[in-house]
C-alpha cells in the first residue's frame, strides 16, 4: 500500500466542529476537507473544493497536528470535494484509523469503497437526477456500499421531481431502508425547516430516517463549521 509519508494531501479546510449530518450528528469531530471533485452538483455549497490543484498541500502528519491543535474529538470526518478520488485515499484512511476512534467518509459514491474496517463508516450521498448529469455515476456502486453495514445512505431531497426519483432509485437499487437518511436541501433555516417537515411525513410513511443539518441550524451556511 502506498504510504501517506510520500503522498501529498491537498485540503481546503481543517476544522473542529460537531458532525452536522448523518447517523453521528452532534458528535465532536475533526474535519479534513480534501480538494477535488468533478461531480458538478448544482446546489454544491463547497465549490471551492472542485479544483484538484486548489487549497493547501501538506502531509498526513501536517494535517493531523493541525487538527489536534484545534481541540479533542473521537471522530474524524474525511470529506470534500470527493475524497474517494483523492490520490492516496486508502493510505490516508488506514492512518486515520490508527489516530481516531471513528472515521467517517462523506462520498458521492462515484468510485467503490476502497477500504472496509469495523471503525470506518461511509456516508454515501448518491445524487438525484435533478442535481447533476452524473447522477447515474453516483448510484453505480450502491450495491458495494450496501454490502458494508457501516454505510448510511444520505440522500438530499429538494423540490419535485426529487421525491419520486428518490423512491424509484431506492427501489431499483434495493437499498436497506433502515440505513437511508433523507436530508432536506437548503442553506437557510427557513428553507430547511419547510422541507424537513415534508420529509418527516415521507420518512414516517416509507420507513426512512431524517437527517438534520445541525451546522446550518447552529451557525448558518458558512465555511469551517
- Contacting residues toward ligand SF4, per CB under 6 A: 37, 39-41, 44, 46, 49, 80-82, 108
* Separation between Cα atoms, residue 177 and residue 212, nearest integer Å: 17
- Which one, 55 or 81, has the nearer CB to ligand SF4? 81
CB of 44 to ligand SF4, least distance (A): 3
Is 10 part of any known ligand binding site?
Answer: no
Is 37 part of any known ligand binding site?
Answer: yes
Is 81 part of any known ligand binding site?
Answer: yes
Is 41 part of any known ligand binding site?
Answer: yes
Is 224 part of any known ligand binding site?
Answer: no
- Which one, 2 or 159, has the nearer CB to ligand SF4? 159
Q: Which residue has the cell 438530499?
A: 156
- Which one, 21 or 170, has the nearer CB to ligand SF4? 21
- Which one, 165 or 206, has the nearer CB to ligand SF4? 165
DSSP assignment string, the chain: ---TTSPPEEEEEEEEEE--SSTTTT-EEEEEEE-------TT-S-GGG--TT-SEEE-HHHHHHHHHHT---SEEEEESS-GGGSTTHHHHHHHHHHH-SEEEEEE--SS------TTEEEEE-PPPTTT-TTHHHHHTTHHHHHTSTTEEEEEEE-STTHHHHHHHHHHHTT--GGGEEEEE--SSHHHHHHHHHHHHHHHHHHT-EE---HHHHHH-S-TT-
CB of 80 to ligand SF4, least distance (A): 5
- Which one, 65 or 187, has the nearer CB to ligand SF4? 187
CB of 79 to ligand SF4, least distance (A): 8
CB of 118 to ligand SF4, least distance (A): 26
CB of 139 to ligand SF4, least distance (A): 13
CB of 34 to ligand SF4, least distance (A): 10
Is 107 part of any known ligand binding site?
Answer: no
Q: What is the dihedral of CA 93, 98, 99, 104, to 10 degrees?
A: 40
Is 44 part of any known ligand binding site?
Answer: yes
* Separation between Cα atoms, residue 45 and residue 74, nearest integer Å: 26
**Annotated binding-site positions for substrate:** 18-20, 33, 79
**Annotated binding-site positions for S-adenosyl-L-methionine:** 43-45, 81, 125-127
**Annotated binding-site positions for Mg(2+):** 46
**Annotated binding-site positions:** 18-20, 33, 37, 41, 43-46, 79, 81, 125-127
Amino acid at each position: 500500500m502506498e504510504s501517506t509519508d510520500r503522498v501529498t494531501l491537498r485540503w481546503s479546510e481543517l476544522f473542529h466542529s460537531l458532525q452536522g449530518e448523518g447517523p453521528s450528528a452532534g458528535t465532536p469531530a475533526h474535519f479534513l476537507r480534501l480538494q477535488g471533485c468533478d461531480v458538478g452538483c448544482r446546489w454544491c455549497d463547497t465549490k471551492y473544493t472542485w479544483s484538484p490543484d486548489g487549497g493547501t498541500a501538506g502531509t498526513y502528519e501536517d494535517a493531523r497536528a493541525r487538527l489536534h491543535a484545534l481541540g479533542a474529538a473521537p471522530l474524524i470526518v474525511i470529506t470534500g470535494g470527493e475524497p474517494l478520488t483523492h490520490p492516496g485515499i486508502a493510505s490516508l484512511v488506514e492512518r486515520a484509523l490508527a489516530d481516531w476512534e471513528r472515521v467517517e467518509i462523506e462520498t458521492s459514491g462515484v468510485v467503490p469503497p476502497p477500504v472496509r474496517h469495523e471503525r470506518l463508516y461511509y456516508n454515501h450521498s448518491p445524487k438525484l437526477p435533478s442535481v447533476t448529469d452524473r447522477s447515474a455515476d453516483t448510484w453505480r456502486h450502491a450495491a458495494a456500499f450496501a454490502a458494508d453495514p457501516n454505510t448510511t445512505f444520505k440522500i438530499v431531497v429538494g423540490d419535485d421531481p426529487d421525491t419520486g426519483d428518490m423512491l424509484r432509485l431506492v427501489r431499483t437499487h434495493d437499498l436497506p431502508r433502515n440505513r437511508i437518511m433523507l436530508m432536506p436541501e437548503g442553506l437557510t433555516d427557513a428553507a430547511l425547516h419547510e422541507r424537513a417537515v415534508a420529509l418527516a411525513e415521507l420518512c414516517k410513511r416509507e420507513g426512512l430516517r431524517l437527517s438534520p443539518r445541525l451546522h446550518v441550524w447552529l451557525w448558518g451556511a458558512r465555511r469551517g463549521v
